[in-house]
Structure 1
Amino acid sequence: MRPRTVALFSLSGAPGVTLAATALAAVWPEERGAVLVEADASGGDIALWRRLPASPGLTDLAAALRHGASGGYDGGGPVGHAQALPGGLPVCPAPSSADRADGAVRLLAQNAGSLAADDGPVTVLDLGRLAPRSATAHLAAHADAALLVAQDDLAQLRRLQESAAHLFETLPGLRTVISGGDRSTAEVSDAVGMPVWGRLPADPKSAAFLRGEKNLRRPHKRPLFKTAASLARTLIRDAAQTRERAEAAT
């Protein structure tokens, strides 16, 4: 058992969900790698950052899944509707306008089970901001792992604290990731009254690199990418341990 889909989202503000999702997909350690799907109903950033054409991308993927295409390597899944970023990461960018992106995300949510296959790359979903009972919430609920990204500031942590009970009830496998700040995960956990699974460091150079504004000689040595790789390995290890416990119980 391995995670086939990993969803990242926020509740408010701009804690860097797209940057975190891109970094995680770029350093995914398995041989099959990962494909990034920008499923943000409010509109995407990647095409603007990287000056990518509108197609192929999220709209094409949503239409293909609607007609029954699978998530493997047959050209119907995310890889078949992706563009390659410099370095090779396949990405399905979302339309920049909310009206077009929202419709595509709704279609995607109706076919959430077809977003990935056992023999394909992991699908990393950038869901942007999550609202209750929305299409993005449906996608998060169907992901094998859901990562809530929150910035280490009072307003976002308060929103996280107020929403914790509902989130953990609807997303049993939810993991909380704090972005930026200098407090330890234990301190943040005490402040919000819920476990904090990981932290993404503030790394302006890596952020500029991911937005296409800066070149880096060895990006994998940067703090953001090193941390993202560590989180990916933990997700894979946790999935393996879950499988072992399930097999032992049978």
Structure 2
Amino acid sequence: MTDAPQAAERPAFQLKSTTVSLTALELAYFDTDSFEATLRDKIRQAPGFFRDIPIIVSLDHFEGPTGELDFFKLLGICRRHNIHVVGVRGGNDDQRRLARNAALAVLPGSGRGDREATAPEQAPEAEPALEPVGARPVSANPAAARVVTQPVRSGQQVYAPEGDLIVLASVQAGAEVLAAGNIHVYGPLRGRALAGVNGLEEARVFCQSLEAELVSIAGHYKISEDLQATGWKAPVQIQLRDDLLVVTPLDRA
């Protein structure tokens, strides 16, 4: 007897949900020369970070004319620099149609611009006023932190989708840790740390030794070259202030 019939009955693949961290390229306008010059400058700052990286092009803040938005030229420039565009986020109907014609995935926009444009001057009396994220009452049952006791090794990704992530060891180069809340690393942080991945701007990153390739909070990031200016290889906390990442030594926090 052989296993051929059983193999034929087994499905060739399965679909499972997963979480993958993607870098968004916020496009304000598209000019071929300006785009490539800016891209080269970014790659010079961190060549290892951009090599073979998948990205999405965000059109949430695109202000240029749609007629100049040539996705085939944009894709060609990115491919020459080993950057892979996998999709487009936001944009109007014409821009999304151009993206589909270039065989790109189309993702919904962040919705910020739409909410700002359609917000009424005065909310109806029956509707409660929107309150800032930081003013929301603390839940009686906050999400439990995810605790990792082993080193996070190169190529590994650890994700806390609802709360904080606590790593009681090192995060090695080439590894990635992500959390909806804060990230605590009780050891050297040498890989990438992305806190507040769902947009929580109050999230922070704490580590015993800052040696990171990249740190991001709510989509705002700094790469290794920028991080070395303050607190390098020292215990620090990193937080977002006025859309800028600020590094503070823990003994002065």
TM-score band, normalised by shorter chain: under 0.3
Instruction: Indicate the structure with greater helix content.
Output: 1
The structure with more strand, counted as a fraction of residues: 2
Larger Rg: 2
Per the normalisation by structure 1, the TM-score is: 0.27
The higher-RCO structure (CA 8 Å, 6+ apart) is 1
